[in-house]
Amino acid sequence: MQLFSHMHAVLSTVTCMRRSSIQSTFSINPEIVCDPLSDYNVWSMLKPINTSGTLEPDDKVVVVATQLDSRSFFWNVAPGAESAVASFVTQLAAAEALYKAPDVTTLPRNVMFVFFQGEAFDYIGSSRMVYDMERGKFPVQLENIDSFVELRQVALRESLELWMHTDPVSQKNKSVQSQVEHLLTALEESGAGVPTVVLRRLNQSQPLPPSSLQRFLRARNISGVVLTDHATVFHNRYYHSVYDTAENINVSYPGQQSPEEDLDFVTDTAKALADVATVLGRALYQLAGGTNFRDTIQADPHTVTRLLYGFLVRANNSWFQSILRQDLRSYLGDQGPLQHYIAVSSPTNTTYVVQYALANLTGKVVDLTREQCQDPSKVPNENKDLYEYMWVQGPLNSNGTERLPYCVRSTARLVRAVSPAFELGQWGSTEYSTWTESRWKDIRARIFLIASKELELITLAVGFGVLVCSLVITYCINAKADVLFIAPREPGSVSF
């Protein structure tokens, strides 16, 4: 059995990136051997901000973050139900609930929803965002961050408990500690109104679980909390595994239903995640300075279940089809769930679908034509710096033949997520992620019979023997040929 699985990259990122750069500098037809893992983060603001500049230092932002990606042992297989999907679906539902509050435009502080890509590979997305924030390349700066809430693995809550992790090291600073205390009380007060979620604090000295907050804390002591379903040991038995599927978080549908019926069927997991989203939404409202309408914020389990169905069971459903742009239809695949691996070509399916889902859930339908939607600079009231305009397919009409497209205006945007190590050219960096993916040739295998070693050696020996024998015999016969073969007498010649 012969397996051909040739990978062009060797040794390490440093070696393969160096070789790629030599190729691209000196060769007409460069042969790149590996590519850095890269994609886009998805982010949006509760109140629109001008993305062409940066915020004033007095504008404070509450950041709520989660991760978009997962990984497994196998390439491009990353179902990531508990490790990624459940958390970002919860965050999407919380965003939808928060945007519906009546007085969002008058809240003192802004809220930034960010979905980091590449967290499974040493925090590519979050390290890049911190790097951009430090250099002023991102509209929000580190000093604008008031507090930080992160969602990590929230689907397997035991006895309704949701744990709040904080960082003990940064809390040695008194002001940070009081801010963290304020953050935790806000969460607990919001959780009081939702009986199906019980918020629990942890021992002060326990460090944070692996989270994007750690990248922010490396740059600045901000007050942050990480919400998880586990206190110490993960409840997820299939963390970063191929088995982290819908089954792992108890998302199951009764049989005998059509895909469209399954899409709208509200599972228990969806209800539980909607409750977490409600708590999160209310806490964010309170942290942003809102007071009046906190208890009216409610996440919709129907939204949660449709998102879970799309990301974990079948991406090619009618709702996902209606919220996407027309040329992105093929990103939904044919059947089956999406795989949440970051990959090297960007943006990936997950990134696009999350961005468009966020736009659909938090944005507004505006009455623009297709040309206006694609280029709103000419339209008087619309501002490309404040908003993102998307021309989406829309649902099928009643006949089921055509789509009814429309324009969605939202603040859901993409921002580049490549590890700063590649920007700086520090391929051996220990500070930032340096993950790359090798390029490869076609993978194939073949089975064939091989001869026994004895037969091969016998053949070779016999061959040599025959060659030597024939050389010897020919030489001997040739030397004495005149003895062996008597030439016939030519008439007329005399010989003695």
Partner 1 sequence: MTAAVFFGCAFIAFGPALALYIFTIATDPLRIIFLIVGAFFWLISLLLSSFVWFVARAITGNRDGPIEKYLLIFGVLVSVLIQEMFRFAYYRLLKKANEGLKTINPDEPAPSMRLLAYVSGLGFGIMSGVFSFVNTLSDSLGPGTVGIHGDSPYFFLNSAFMTQVIILLHMFWGIIFFDGCEKKNWYPLLAVILTHLLVSALTFLNPQYEISLVSAYMIMVLTGIWAFFVAGGSRRSLKRYLLCQDKNFLLYSQRSR
The residues binding partner 1 (CB under 8 A) are 2, 448-451, 455-464, 466-467, 469-471, 473-475, 478, 480, 483-488
Residue 489 Cβ vs partner 1, minimum distance, rounded to whole Å: 11
Cβ–Cβ < 8 Å for 67, 87: yes
Q: Which DSSP state fits 476?
A: H
Rg for the chain, CA atoms, rounded: 33
Cβ–Cβ < 8 Å for 259, 319: no
Residue 441 Cβ vs partner 1, minimum distance, rounded to whole Å: 18
Quick one: 335 or 470, whose CB is closer to partner 1?
Answer: 470
Q: Are strands 145-151 and 161-165 parallel, antiparallel or unpaired?
A: unpaired
Quick one: 75 or 475, whose CB is closer to partner 1?
Answer: 475
Cβ–Cβ < 8 Å for 227, 282: no
Residue 440 Cβ vs partner 1, minimum distance, rounded to whole Å: 22
Q: Which tokens is 405 given? A: 């497209």
User: What CA–CA distance (Å, rounded) separates 483 from 28?
Assistant: 70
Quick one: 233 or 447, whose CB is closer to partner 1?
Answer: 447
Quick one: 25 or 478, whose CB is closer to partner 1?
Answer: 478
**Residues whose CB falls within 8 Å of the CB of residue 87, separated by 6 or more in sequence, listed in order:** 66, 67, 151, 152, 153, 154, 155
Quick one: 56 or 456, whose CB is closer to partner 1?
Answer: 456
Residue 3 Cβ vs partner 1, minimum distance, rounded to whole Å: 13
Measured between its terminal Cα atoms, the distance across the chain in Å is 72
Quick one: 242 or 477, whose CB is closer to partner 1?
Answer: 477
Quick one: 11 or 450, whose CB is closer to partner 1?
Answer: 450
Residue 1 Cβ vs partner 1, minimum distance, rounded to whole Å: 11
Residue 471 Cβ vs partner 1, minimum distance, rounded to whole Å: 5
User: What CA–CA distance (Å, rounded) separates 409 from 192?
Assistant: 34
How many other C-beta atoms can be found within 10 angstroms of the C-beta atom of residue 368? 19
What's at 94, amino acid-wise?
Answer: A
Quick one: 10 or 471, whose CB is closer to partner 1?
Answer: 471
User: What CA–CA distance (Å, rounded) separates 158 from 196?
Assistant: 11
Cβ–Cβ < 8 Å for 77, 341: yes
Residue 485 Cβ vs partner 1, minimum distance, rounded to whole Å: 4
Q: Which DSSP state fits 423?
A: H
User: What CA–CA distance (Å, rounded) separates 392 from 321?
Assistant: 9
User: What CA–CA distance (Å, rounded) separates 124 from 135?
Assistant: 17
Residue 4 Cβ vs partner 1, minimum distance, rounded to whole Å: 12
